[in-house]
């Protein structure tokens, strides 16, 4: 009898140990294809040909269509762009490097610690942007759809947009431009003075204060994370639609044999997102003064 009880206790201990070990070793990898749509119709203030717009759109494609890898466990995750070589003549290195300052580098999230870290290089200097995870008030819906083999549920939220979020930027006064076009069709001639007054391409752009986010998550993978900064749902987020950007999961590998380390980054000057935005705006202003200010009309270089 004593031996039987001892065996039962031993089996129970092994089972408990196995379950705890499995929970600790739990890890997954999800691949996301992301795409941002840009309206090229008003690009360049109407002074560019359709062919020029097409060429720019092709060069921007590598920046607007990307593949990201999300490695995650129960509480932590890393999210970074898949490394690949640019096709010859496409995506200009200097332009790509400049735009990466706006789009962000590798990202780390810790749900338990409520922290998000993003590696960021700006004009040769390394930063580590650190903030609390953005809190989204998700509204859970009953609508479902299949993404691959996973049943996903719909959730929506309203998200505040970072003022330097390049992916959400649009031409300033776009709605007013539409009205002007309607007036022109009626024979009224409109003079657009902004083309001569603007001295910085970013002056043409604005960012909405809020956007509606639609997410699709699967309770079949019980982790509260997803691509980018998105988190907080009762299952892995497999698809996100936010403003003009779509993030769609195309592949999931659970408990891969070769697990990639989910490590907290430590390289770079630690700053908040607000402080980093201030640094970017100051650098842009510095560049504007260096290269001529108001189109070279009175705000240019001083001898």
Question: Is the dihedral angle over the CA atoms 129, 135, 136, 140 positive or is it negative?
Answer: positive
What mean pLDDT comes out for the span 180-192? Answer: 43
Q: Are strands 150-160 and 139-147 parallel, antiparallel or unpaired?
A: antiparallel
Which residues lie below 8 Å from residue 62, measured CB to CB, with a gap of 6+? Answer: 86, 87, 90, 91, 96
Rounded distance between C-alpha atoms, residue 281 and residue 163, angstroms? 10
Least confident of 54-58, 167-171, 267-271, 297-301: 297-301
Q: In this predicted structure, what is the pLDDT of residue 288?
A: 75
Q: In this predicted structure, what is the pLDDT of residue 22?
A: 44
- Cβ atoms of 168 and 161 within 8 Å: the answer is yes
Highest mean pLDDT among 88-97, 190-199, 264-273: 264-273
What mean pLDDT comes out for the span 88-116? Answer: 71
In this predicted structure, the answer to whether residue 205 has a pLDDT above a threshold of 80 is: no
Which residues lie below 8 Å from residue 239, measured CB to CB, with a gap of 6+? Answer: 147, 152, 215, 216, 246, 247, 248, 249
The CB-side HSE value for 197 (13 A sphere, CA atoms) comes to 6
How far the first Cα of the chain sits from its last, in Å, is: 99
Q: In this predicted structure, what is the pLDDT of residue 112?
A: 94
Q: In this predicted structure, what is the pLDDT of residue 5?
A: 47
Q: In this predicted structure, what is the pLDDT of residue 229?
A: 93
Strand segments, DSSP code E, in 55-97 are 65-72, 76-81
Distances from the Cα of 233 to the Cα of 98, 135, 258, angstroms: 34, 11, 27
Which tens digits make up the pLDDT trace of 140-166?
Answer: 999 999 999 999 999 999 998 776 666
Q: How confident is the model at residue 117 (pLDDT cuts 50, 70, 90)?
A: very high
The residues pairing with 239 across neighbouring beta strands, listed in sequence order, are 216, 248
In this predicted structure, the answer to whether residue 89 has a pLDDT above a threshold of 70 is: no
pTM over 0.85: no
Pick the residue with more confidence: 91 or 168?
168
Average of per-residue pLDDT values in the chain: 75
| Residue pointed to by tokens 């065996």 | 7
- Tally Cβ neighbours within 10 Å of residue 20: 10
What mean pLDDT comes out for the span 9-16? Answer: 36
Which tens digits make up the pLDDT trace of 22-69?
Answer: 445 789 999 999 998 876 555 555 566 777 766 766 666 667 889 999
- Cβ atoms of 157 and 240 within 8 Å: the answer is no
Rounded distance between C-alpha atoms, residue 233 and residue 135, angstroms? 11
Q: In this predicted structure, what is the pLDDT of residue 253?
A: 95
Per-residue burial over 42-54, b = 16 or more CB atoms within 10 Å of its CB, e = otherwise: bbeeeeeeeeeee
What mean pLDDT comes out for the span 233-243? Answer: 96
As to burial, measured by CB atoms within 10 angstroms (0-12 exposed, 13-18 middle, 19+ buried), residue 178 is: exposed
Q: In this predicted structure, what is the pLDDT of residue 137?
A: 95
In this predicted structure, the answer to whether residue 21 has a pLDDT above a threshold of 50 is: no
- Tally Cβ neighbours within 10 Å of residue 196: 11
Q: In this predicted structure, what is the pLDDT of residue 173?
A: 60
| Residue pointed to by tokens 């096709």 | 87
Domains of the chain: residue spans and CATH: 2-169+207-271 (2.50.20)
In this predicted structure, the answer to whether residue 131 has a pLDDT above a threshold of 60 is: yes
Counting every residue written for the chain, the total comes to 303
Rounded distance between C-alpha atoms, residue 6 and residue 20, angstroms? 21
């Amino acid at each position: 009898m004593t031996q039987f009880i001892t065996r039962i206790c031993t089996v129970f201990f092994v089972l408990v140990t196995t379950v705890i070990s499995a929970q600790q070793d739990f890890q997954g990898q999800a691949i996301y294809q992301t795409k941002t749509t840009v309206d090229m119709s008003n690009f360049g203030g109407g002074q560019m040909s359709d062919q020029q717009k097409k060429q720019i759109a092709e060069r921007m494609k590598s920046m607007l269509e990307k593949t990201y890898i999300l490695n995650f466990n129960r509480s932590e995750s890393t999210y970074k762009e898949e490394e690949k070589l640019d096709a010859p003549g496409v995506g200009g290195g200097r332009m790509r490097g400049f735009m990466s300052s706006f789009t962000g580098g590798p990202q780390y999230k810790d749900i338990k610690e409520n922290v998000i870290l993003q590696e960021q290089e700006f004009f040769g200097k390394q930063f580590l942007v650190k903030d609390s995870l953005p809190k989204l008030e998700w509204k859970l819906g009953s609508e479902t759809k299949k993404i691959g083999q996973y049943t996903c549920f719909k959730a929506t939220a309203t998200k505040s947009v970072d003022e330097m979020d390049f992916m959400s930027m649009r031409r300033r006064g776009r709605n007013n431009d539409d009205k002007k076009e309607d007036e022109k069709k009626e024979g009224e001639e409109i003079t657009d003075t902004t083309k001569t007054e603007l001295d910085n391409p970013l002056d043409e752009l604005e960012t909405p204060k809020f956007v509606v986010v639609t997410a699709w998550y699967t309770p079949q993978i019980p982790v509260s994370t997803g691509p980018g900064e998105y988190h907080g749902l009762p299952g892995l987020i497999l698809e996100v639609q936010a403003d003009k950007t779509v993030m769609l999961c195309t592949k999931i590998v659970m408990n891969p044999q070769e697990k990639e380390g989910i490590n907290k980054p430590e390289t770079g000057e630690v700053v908040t997102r607000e402080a980093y935005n201030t640094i970017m705006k100051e650098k842009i202003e510095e560049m504007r003064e260096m290269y001529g200010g108001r189109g070279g009309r009175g705000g240019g270089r001083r001898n």
